[in-house]
């Protein structure tokens, strides 16, 4: 085998290796993102008054909101920032404007981009609290 043939063979090997690593990185990143969005770290419920809910983002529009969780009027307000991925849940929250609401959420840690939401707390349902 001469030097020219060996060089071409090495070049093909490097191109295949780089392409394989690139495909592996894209597929691995997609699987990681899907798993962080599918499996929740924790879940719970927060009760209070929704201060605001709005669509935010330059490229990826997400519904972001704030819940005021003050237990007694005059007390320092504790704010709970949340993200809503489902338009039906946004409708539920907007329908309960002005009322005390209970928001059920799932926490998803390790999401690699803010394109899915600004917070790690994703509200899955809303109901009127007594």
Per-block mean pLDDT, blocks of 10 residues, the chain (130 long): 82 92 91 82 92 89 90 78 93 92 92 83 92
Provide the pLDDT for residue 52. Answer: 92
Confidence at residue 21, expressed as pLDDT on a 0 to 100 scale: 93
pLDDT for 40: 85
pLDDT at 88: 94
Provide the pLDDT for residue 75: 73
Following DSSP, what letter does each residue of 84-104 receive, concatenated?
A: E--HHHHHHHHHTTTSEEEEE
Report pLDDT for 71.
Answer: 67
pLDDT given for residue 76 in this prediction = 79
């Amino acid at each position: 085998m001469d030097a020219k043939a060996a060089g071409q063979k090495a070049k093909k090997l490097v191109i295949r290796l780089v392409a394989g690593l690139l495909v592996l990185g894209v597929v691995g990143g997609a699987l990681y993102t899907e798993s962080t969005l599918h499996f929740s770290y924790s879940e719970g419920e927060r009760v209070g008054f929704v201060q605001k809910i709005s669509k935010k983002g330059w490229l990826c529009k997400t519904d972001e909101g704030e819940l005021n969780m003050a237990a007694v009027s005059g007390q320092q307000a504790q704010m709970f920032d949340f993200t809503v991925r489902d338009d039906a849940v946004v409708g539920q929250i907007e329908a309960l404007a002005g009322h005390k609401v209970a928001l059920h959420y799932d926490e998803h840690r390790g999401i690699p981009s803010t394109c899915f939401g600004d917070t790690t707390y994703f509200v899955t349902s809303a109901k009127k609290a007594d």
